[in-house]
Structure 1
Amino acid sequence: MVVSRNIVSLILAQGVTSCRKPKLDEGYFNSEENVYNEGTTLYYGCNKGRKPVAEGWWGITVCKNSQWTPEPQCIDESDCVAPDNPNAKVRKPSEEGWYKNGRSVNFECDEFYETKRTNAKCENGIWEDLPVCEKRKDLCGEPPQVKNAVITQEYRDTFLDSSSVQYKCQDSYNLNITDPTICISGIWSGIPKCKNKNIDLTKSGSEQRSNEHCICFSVDKCGEKPVVDNGDYISDDTRMALTYKCNLYYKLEGPEKVMCHSNGVWSETPVCKEPCTVSPTSFDLLDATTNQYVMDGGSSVFLCKQKGYYGTRYFSHFHCQNGKVTHKPCTRKYDVPNT
């Protein structure tokens, strides 16, 4: 024993990095030396009813900078080791490196991930209902490449919702829009183009107002949705536009899609143009008891009261233009022009 102590003292006196024999309550090591060189790995097990602070029934510790890492410990089998939860971490980790049976902990997801539930509980050595952190659906990938341009920040392949980037054209080109490009609900909005300075840019104003270059937000951020008489809207999967449809026989005029500009103002809304009404009381030639309708700018063929020999039916061709109805005399169906 005196010799061993002298060896330890000699090693320490010479400044050699080493570790003393580690302590372990209710457990055992694969080696029982009094001192170990830097980088030495020890394996350990625990007595009945205990377990290592590690996944599995044996543990490992390494001599690093004169300390054993991780610290070898044997804990009760009903306690839990630190949870290994992908893309998540415990908000306030235990200083001991393990958790008592019955303890609950809160998790937070890594950047770019989210979860609906944040807590889990240690139950008899097992973590119950660990939260699952999934990649956010509103993330954007790398911004689109623009010809003759670069982005003035370090490269990244993932961006959070509402992140922005700024493009810069090479010297002989100008950006057609100057606002930053923004990630909105997984889509890059307001992607610019680089225009040659020697080319006439008189159309740039209208280009900036078009939806193609719209600096737009989710439709949820513009307040009350625009009302279009005799029509209704649906949101697309990305919630970046409202798509309008008119009621039966009504004609859509204007943009089908309406978007929310970054200043909180809706883009141009369409109108549903009223159809022409073909009433049996106004057009006595019709063989009908209810009103018929023709879409503006369109044509329809309706049945006439007139009949030919052997009961042959006759039809009339009706056309609607700006609310005004015109029609042709009743004739046999095969004489009616294509509509």
Structure 2
Amino acid sequence: MLLLVNVILTLWVSWARGQEIACDPPRIENSQYISKRTNYRLGDTITYYCTSGFFPSSWGNTAKCTDKGWDPPPRCSLNPCEFPEIKHGLLYNEETYRSYFPAPIGQWFYYSCDENYVTPPEKVWHYITCTQDGWTPEVPCRRKCIFNYLEHPHSPPQEQRYLQGQSITVTCPWGYSFPNLQRTVTVTCTEKGWSSPPTCIQHCDMPIFENATATITGKPFRPNDTLDYQCLDGYENEDGNSLGSMVCTENGWSHLPTCFKSADKCGPPPAISNGAITSLPLEVYPPGSRVEYQCQAYYELRGPKYVTCSYAKWSELPSCIDPCVISEKIMSEKNIELKGKDDKTYYVKTGDIIEFVCKSGHRAVTSEESFQAVCLEGTVEFPRCE
């Protein structure tokens, strides 16, 4: 047990000494740096100043003590520029030029930028130059942001291009807002793209309630937000309940609350002869409900096509008028046949015209006009031949 404690203590002392003494004072030629300490710990930094005519590294005149020594290595020389880092770009013929560094003042090299990044003059190629303050341009490649993806935009009205550092004010149209419920925000083109890519989403304002109440917050609702409402005493919604809820969707509220007096609802729509409604019948219809009627084949609808529930009663109903039946038996008795059609049972809607002719070997007994008969609500006057 004692041996284990000694080992741990030895390791801790070794680690502590390593923390206390990590870097010796650097020797920097052509520098006014004065060493004020005999050793430095990890993370300590120094600042040095070069004598006249000499320049520090383009990485700066500060260095940090690391487990590998001073970083970056402090120096003062006639050539101030280290190998340039073209972030989001590439130095032309890079491997060949590595032997040129450190580079003297005035030395320049061509470079190009990656996709979605541009040089300051916005050309494919540009040059970076060594100065006494380091490389210029300081930011060789700037991000290019395109404003062309915003859904439901109000401004800007069309595709525009912005460079790193530039900002733009974006406005959503009425009925839309950003996630923070603002209609206008300012975004900036950064190295990684837009600072906060804006998205206009539709919001829902507080609806106007009729015969119902709800908690009023005064703030617009975001998609998927739910609003609960309660019908007034003596009123109910379409489901027959006094409580209901509605959901804010990307297209507005899922539905608007409809609360009506229980005594004003209607039962199933009345049945009519040879016709029916086009939808499945319900047991209860709230006031204002409307249904559509249609007739069976060949029957003619007469009256209103749509019927509305009002104060527990349905409005005027339509009727279905009988068609005319032209049978082969009747035509045989009259010695006539249909013009241009087979001698089979034929159904005609009211108001339609039917043309007849005499059968072969027979002549007309009735007037010529009678051979163009009109169907009138299920009846027709047939011509006759003998």
More strand by share: 1
The TM-score bracket by the shorter chain reads 0.3 to 0.5
Task: Tell me the TM-score normalized by structure 2.
Answer: 0.30
- Which structure would you say has the larger Rg? 2
